[in-house]
Structure 1
């Protein structure tokens, strides 16, 4: 178990946000593994409200690229949403849909990296406009865009990637 834990921590620390992609398509079997990571993600009450749109046609990629500059010419963009009609709701009114979609997105990012594929979490857009642009039904809420692709040869993490707050500033034992 500890060897697997170390492998995971290494993977998680090495993974970085890719903003330059190579002109190389993602193999279908690798894309399926990335999507599988979202399917098996833990969700509140296992309601699985995450909904993922795979944007890969040139027409729809152009729509996204015209809409936001933060997709960095990735060959595939995953649009992660959740269905608010089926997401778990807490007694205080909390809707778990955003969290569930975020967990699914994180797992896809880590699986992609493990397969040699880069990604970057994008939320620099107006979700209302994106939802209209792709004519999403009212029950779907956009959470993130996830451009994915092979990193270009000169892709590298930004300097802030290596900066972490101290454990003492993050963790309090009660």
Structure 2
């Protein structure tokens, strides 16, 4: 499958089968996150994999888990992130998002479904999963086998703005 077909196949899955992600597939997803680029190759991502029933119950106290069997809490170690010298922008959230995107697309390539969650209680995640103060939770990626009919890969023709509205040549 070419990249664009893979990107169009991926959708936000909000209902999962009661079937755990196989260890070899999870390993490939985590490897995709490991090889993701990060600012100055600092690799500040810290991934908390949650698969136990108890762990998913703890996650449910922080956000909706939509019945997913696996979650990856994507964090940034703020002691390790690269900082842009011109405005002191720390890019840990960007690095964590690149890692999340790589893992999300890797999951799609393995016929797994995902949901990228940013709507969660950061302090609850920190407490439930014993995150140290310098480790910031940025995203949560739910992973599993979707239940029901997946979104149509051609939906983007109707749901996305045309390039003419989002791309500017040479200046805004």
TM-score (norm 1): 0.90
Whole-Å separation in 2 of the counterparts to 1:76 and 1:131: 18
Structure 1 runs, 4 residues or longer, greater than 3 Å off: none
SS in 1 for 2:37: coil
Q: Which residue of structure 1 aligns with residue 70 of structure 2?
A: 76
Whole-Å separation in 2 of the counterparts to 1:121 and 1:31: 16
Question: Considering only aligned residues, what root-mean-square deviation do their CA atoms show, in Å?
Answer: 1.6
Unaligned runs of 5+ in 2: none
Q: Which residue of structure 2 aligns with residue 172 of structure 1?
A: 168
Whole-Å separation in 1 of the counterparts to 2:62 and 2:121: 9
Aligned positions of 1:12-161 closer than 5 A: 12-69=7-64, 71-91=65-85, 92-152=87-147, 154-157=148-151
Whole-Å separation in 2 of the counterparts to 1:132 and 1:108: 25
Contact 1:33/1:111, CA 8 A, preserved across alignment = yes
SS in 2 for 1:82: strand
How much does 1:125 deviate? 1.2
TM-score (norm 2): 0.91
SS in 2 for 1:106: helix
Whole-Å separation in 1 of the counterparts to 2:80 and 2:20: 34
Whole-Å separation in 1 of the counterparts to 2:61 and 2:121: 13
How much does 1:155 deviate? 3.8
Post-superposition CA distance 1:9-64 (Å, at most 9, x none): 11101110111111112111100000000000011100100110000111111111
Contact 2:62/2:121, CA 8 A, preserved across alignment = no
